[in-house]
Amino acid sequence: MARLAQTAGLTDVQKEILSTVKDFVDKEIIPNAQALEHADEYPKDIVEGMKEMGLFGLTIPEEYGGLGESLLTYALVVEQIARGWMSVSGVINTHFIVAHMVKQHGTDAQKQHYLPKMAAGEIRGSFSMSEPDLGSDVAAIKTRAKKDGDTYTIDGAKMWLTNGGSSNLIALLARTDEGAEKPHQNLTTFLVDKTEGFGEVAPGLTIPGKIDKMGYKGVDTTEAVFDGFRIGADKVLGEAPGKGFSYMMDGVEVGRVNVAARACGIAIRAFELAVEYAQQRKTFGKAIADHQAIAFKLAEMATKVEAAHLMMVNAARLKDSGARNDVEAGMAKLIASEYCAEVTQEAFRIHGGYGYSKEYEIERLMREAPFLLIGEGTSEIQKTIISRGLLREYKSRG
């Protein structure tokens, strides 16, 4: 059993789930990740394996066919999957966020319709806030949904949809005319059904194709173009126009815990590769791990892995308790993503010239780690969230 990134206080069920997932990662993901990533190939067989294990319904309540597990369990599962290949964790991340939003805010009819099929992996979700001209400034969204009786007509362009082609459900944030003074109170979340694939996937909705990326290969990242797309008012999440921003932010909070977990997974794998290589590679008559310069690097890397894991676990447990966790989730995402980049780069340096070769796994991790500095909000956005939360809690009485 590895010493790093252990979690105290887990139930027997949680331990069994994590053991099963780790075994799946070691046998099915790690041996195939390099070839799939280099070919930018969607991991169909791996996804089918996750369906069979019930991972798509991990946090969906048992009454809807899911396993009813906690955010902590999910985060620890994601940590293991990302340790194998981050792109695979991306396949289930947006699905999880959409399922969480439907579970927390959907009407009874929406829950009955979507959650059982989402638990089985028959319906797979993607998540859409960003646009070509905006990312973090969500209140400035331009995509509009105009109401006409019992339907809306949506026009606009969305950007950076993970699983945009492989999903058949999009949780879409669009601007509606609610007459509210605050911009974010004029935003509504829609549940958009579509077919899988690229091109026109529904009348008035086009998924142009995959965006070619530096890393995060295999999983499809796309645009979505809405041109006169018509949707019923019953597809408004919770049938609550104007509440889309708060619903999306709830989804983003759990998404930030997820990104922190992914960062922990990559950092763990980078450390594993580095500590193994450092004991095999010899210079000046001894393993480079026996040189103090390398030994100190390993010590610092392990400390960062452990710190990031503990903060991620704390943020997940806080959310599970029902408490507000925006500050803690921001802290976990900030520290885990930054430490992931640092640990991965140190592992790359330990590998020397071999780390620059595509034959070595660390080359892939070097292209994947930077994504986590940006996804679900940049480090600067996390600092903004953290500082605002702290100033709210520590408000001066002077």
Exactly one of 63, 342, 376, 380 is catalytic; which is it? 376
**Contact criterion met (CB below 8 Å) for 195 and 185:** no
The three-class DSSP label of residue 131 is strand
The three-class DSSP label of residue 50 is helix
Q: In sequence order, what are the beta bridge partners of 71?
A: none
Region of 172 (left: φ > 0; alpha: ψ -120 to 50; beta: rest) is beta
The three-class DSSP label of residue 177 is coil
- Mention every residue, 6+ apart, whose C-beta is less than 8 A from residue 201: 194, 195, 207
Cα dihedral value 337, 340, 346, 352, nearest 10: -110
Q: What DSSP letter does each residue of 306-327 carry, written as one string?
A: HHHHHHHHHHHHHHHTT---HH
User: Residue 12: is it exposed, middle or buried by C-beta count within 10 angstroms (0-12/13-18/19+)?
Assistant: exposed
How far is it, in rounded angstroms, from Cα 398 to Cα 395? 9
Token pair listed for 182: 């605050």
Among residues 239, 232, 226, 235, the alpha carbon closest in space to that of 149 is found at 232
Token pair listed for 47: 């996804």
Active site (annotated) includes residue 131: no
- Going by their DSSP bridges, the two strands 125-128 and 151-162 should be labelled as unpaired
Among residues 155, 158, 154, the alpha carbon closest in space to that of 134 is found at 158
The catalytic residues are 376
